[in-house]
């Protein structure tokens, strides 16, 4: 008997970074009517669903991850009406729309936080956040040694209503993103309202920000290693992955069960497979982002290990594996793999690896164009990481530069103004959608063919992935009637038998270095 798989289990999601996709009103910042105007492009690319980075009302200190009103769309992005237009137009093209949801923290401009500041210590308003007295004489020092993911202390001291320095509040990210106190039932009740608000408007699900956050350990014990940079790679870090977080996910799932077509995808920076799989139990999240391919270098052993590990983690929870090469928080893969032509060729090869694998795939804005990271000058940097790290970490702006659509100079059809929110490089003319449309060998053309072939292959969900040892520096695996071969070495390897379906570089009788191919296998 064939089990019917949910729509998302074999889908290609496209992550739209709304600020950078398409500007419709000439203010230099992308918006939702801009996304709507480019839906035919996304339909042509073959994507099944969108994930929109946060579009709720926000002072935009962390570009929308600081939410001041979770049940409205920021005017910068066109307001609620623009989202409704986008949902209708996307659904008319059979494209689903998922949104980012930020349950771990709010903006400091959220009325709750403003009320907490005004009400003072010991009040119920403060119970919605994590306020503590400081340590040392006069409470001069922070309550513990936790650091912010963006650099500096994770605590900021407030001035009390009487004008004196007083309590400290916790913020795992920027000081303008106070962490919510999930021990207070009001937080979950309010999130339920938010979930229903969007689901009732036709949203098809949520990407859940910092899904391994939310629950903090009792007593807030010190970190053993507060010097680790950025997003933690240390699974013992007390700031994240406390077991109570699973209750919160169960609460979210209970709401989602009223909307059986909707999906939740957790951002889970947890690397122990058993721990990761807990988030994907049948009464928790549907999917979890697996970042192993993002962390793997262009190295056969690392790539194979990343794939095996992701498959194993998903299998532990009987869940669907997920795959991504980049997102709005990491250096673009073209640059990670060596930049220039080499970086682009390797990124194209890795796209074929990712799109061959069974499960849910996420493609990030501009990845299909092979965009590199951009070295931006100090004065335009906006990521809070830059200032919070004492200008040591440049932050994530370099992977968020707007999409080039057409023309030979900035803003390349992205906007009517060249004064875009991040400057666009003068040398991107060959990377525009229009230029790549006209080139059958472009990265865009390869993505389109690969996604189309992936769809034609039909249901690859749950099909085993069987690795084949072809040569050193090669990753090869069979799945669902196909062999995918990646050559991560320096010299060509002979092309195995089988009908050549797709190649990231010309492959007559060999797979060139830094390339990948798909071959149809006879026995299917």
The nearest distance, CB 523 to ligand GLC, in angstroms, is: 42
DSSP3 helix / strand / coil % (the chain, rounded to 5): 30, 15, 50
How many alpha carbons fall within 13 Å on the CB side of residue 276? Answer: 29
At 368, is the secondary structure helix, strand, or coil?
A: helix
Among 447, 405, 446, 445, residue whose Cα is nearest residue 429: 405
- In terms of CB distance, is 55 or 102 closer to ligand GLC? 102
209 is catalytic: yes
The nearest distance, CB 332 to ligand GLC, in angstroms, is: 15
At 358, is the secondary structure helix, strand, or coil?
A: coil
The nearest distance, CB 266 to ligand GLC, in angstroms, is: 11
- In terms of CB distance, is 178 or 343 closer to ligand GLC? 178
The nearest distance, CB 362 to ligand GLC, in angstroms, is: 12
The nearest distance, CB 328 to ligand GLC, in angstroms, is: 6
The nearest distance, CB 177 to ligand GLC, in angstroms, is: 6
Q: Is the peptide bond before 411 cis (omega within 30 degrees of 0)?
A: yes
User: Rounded distance, CA 152 to CA 343, Å?
Assistant: 33
Tokens of 348: 């194209």
**Residues 48, 267, 367, 383: which is the catalytic one?**
267
The nearest distance, CB 296 to ligand GLC, in angstroms, is: 19
Pure H helices in 164-290: 185-199, 245-256, 273-278
User: Rounded distance, CA 228 to CA 241, Å?
Assistant: 16
**Consecutive H or E run containing 50:** strand 49-52
- In terms of CB distance, is 149 or 453 closer to ligand GLC? 149
User: Rounded distance, CA 254 to CA 283, Å?
Assistant: 8
- In terms of CB distance, is 10 or 107 closer to ligand GLC? 107
Strand duo 69-73 + 56-57: pairing: antiparallel
- In terms of CB distance, is 107 or 443 closer to ligand GLC? 107
User: Rounded distance, CA 450 to CA 167, Å?
Assistant: 55
Rounded to 5°, angle at Cα 137 from 132 and 139: 15
DSSP secondary structure code for residue 403 in this structure = P
Task: Give the DSSP letter string of 421-474.
Answer: SSPPPTT-GGGSHHHHHT-TTSHHHHHHHHHHHHHHT---TT---EEE--STTE
- In terms of CB distance, is 65 or 405 closer to ligand GLC? 65
23 is catalytic: no
The nearest distance, CB 478 to ligand GLC, in angstroms, is: 34
- In terms of CB distance, is 62 or 514 closer to ligand GLC? 62
Which residue number has the CB closest to ligand GLC? 65
The answer to whether 381 and 368 are in contact (CB under 8 A) is no
Residue keyed to tokens 């799109």: 355
> Residues 33, 36, 41, 45: is their CA dihedral positive or negative?
positive
- In terms of CB distance, is 198 or 298 closer to ligand GLC? 198
The answer to whether 400 and 422 are in contact (CB under 8 A) is yes
Across the chain, which distance is largest between two alpha carbons, in Å? Answer: 79
Q: What is the dihedral of CA 102, 399, 79, 251, to 10 degrees?
A: -20
Residues ≥6 apart with Cβ < 8 Å to 203: 87, 97, 98, 99, 262
The nearest distance, CB 232 to ligand GLC, in angstroms, is: 11
**Residues 62, 209, 368, 383: which is the catalytic one?**
209
Which residues in this chain contact ligand GLC in the complex, by CB under 6 A?
62, 65, 102, 173, 209-210, 267, 328-329
- In terms of CB distance, is 209 or 514 closer to ligand GLC? 209
Question: Which residues does the annotation mark as catalytic?
Answer: 209, 267
């Amino acid at each position: 008997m064939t089990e019917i798989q949910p729509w998302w289990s074999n889908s290609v999601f496209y992550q739209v970074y709304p600020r950078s996709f398409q500007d419709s009103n000439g203010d230099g910042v992308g918006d939702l009517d801009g996304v709507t105007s480019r839906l035919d492009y996304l339909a042509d690319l073959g994507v099944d669903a969108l994930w929109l980075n946060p579009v709720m009302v926000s002072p935009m200190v962390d570009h929308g991850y600081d939410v001041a009103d979770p049940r409205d769309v920021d005017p910068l992005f066109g307001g609620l009406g623009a989202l409704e237009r986008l949902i209708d137009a996307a659904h008319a093209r059979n494209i689903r729309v998922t949104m980012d949801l930020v349950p771990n923290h709010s903006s400091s401009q959220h009325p709750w936080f403003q009320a907490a500041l005004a009400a003072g210590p010991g009040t119920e308003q403060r119970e919605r956040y994590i306020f503590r007295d400081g340590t040392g004489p006069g409470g001069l020092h922070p309550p513990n040694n936790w650091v912010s993911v963006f650099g500096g202390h994770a605590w900021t001291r407030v001035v009390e209503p009487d004008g004196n320095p007083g309590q400290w509040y916790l913020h795992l990210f920027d000081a303008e993103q106070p962490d919510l106190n999930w021990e207070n039932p009001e937080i979950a009740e309010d999130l339920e309202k938010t979930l229903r608000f969007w689901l009732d408007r036709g949203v098809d699900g949520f990407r859940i920000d910092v899904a391994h956050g939310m629950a903090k350990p009792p007593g807030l014990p010190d970190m053993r290693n507060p010097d680790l940079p950025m997003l933690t790679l240390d699974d013992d870090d007390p700031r994240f992955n406390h077991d109570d977080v699973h209750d919160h996910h169960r609460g979210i799932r209970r709401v989602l069960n009223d909307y059986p077509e909707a999906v939740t995808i957790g951002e889970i920076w947890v690397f122990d497979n058993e721990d990761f799989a807990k988030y994907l139990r049948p009464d928790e999240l549907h999917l979890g982002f697996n970042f192993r391919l993002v962390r793997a270098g262009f190295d056969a052993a690392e790539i194979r290990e990343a794939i095996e590990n992701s498959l194993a983690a998903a299998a532990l929870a009987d869940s669907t594996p997920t795959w991504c090469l980049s997102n709005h928080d990491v250096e673009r893969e073209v640059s990670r793999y060596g930049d220039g032509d080499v970086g682009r060729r390797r990124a194209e090869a890795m796209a074929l690896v990712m799109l061959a694998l069974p499960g849910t795939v996420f493609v990030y804005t501009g990845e299909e164009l092979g965009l590199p990271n951009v070295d931006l000058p100090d004065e335009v940097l906006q990521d809070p990481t830059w200032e919070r790290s004492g200008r040591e970490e440049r932050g994530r702006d370099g992977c968020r530069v707007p999409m080039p659509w057409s023309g030979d100079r900035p803003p390349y059809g992205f906007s009517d103004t060249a004064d875009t929110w991040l400057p666009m490089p003068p040398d991107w003319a060959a990377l525009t959608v229009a230029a790549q449309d006209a080139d059958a060998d472009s990265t865009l053309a390869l993505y389109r063919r690969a996604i189309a072939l992936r769809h034609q292959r039909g249901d690859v969900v749950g099909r085993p992935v069987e690795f084949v040892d072809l040569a050193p520096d090669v990753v090869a695996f069979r799945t669902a009637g196909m062999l995918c071969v990646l050559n991560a070495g320096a010299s060509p390897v002979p092309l195995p038998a089988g009908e050549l379906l797709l190649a990231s570089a010309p492959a007559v009788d060999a797979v060139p270095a830094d390339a990948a191919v798909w071959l149809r296998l006879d026995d299917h």
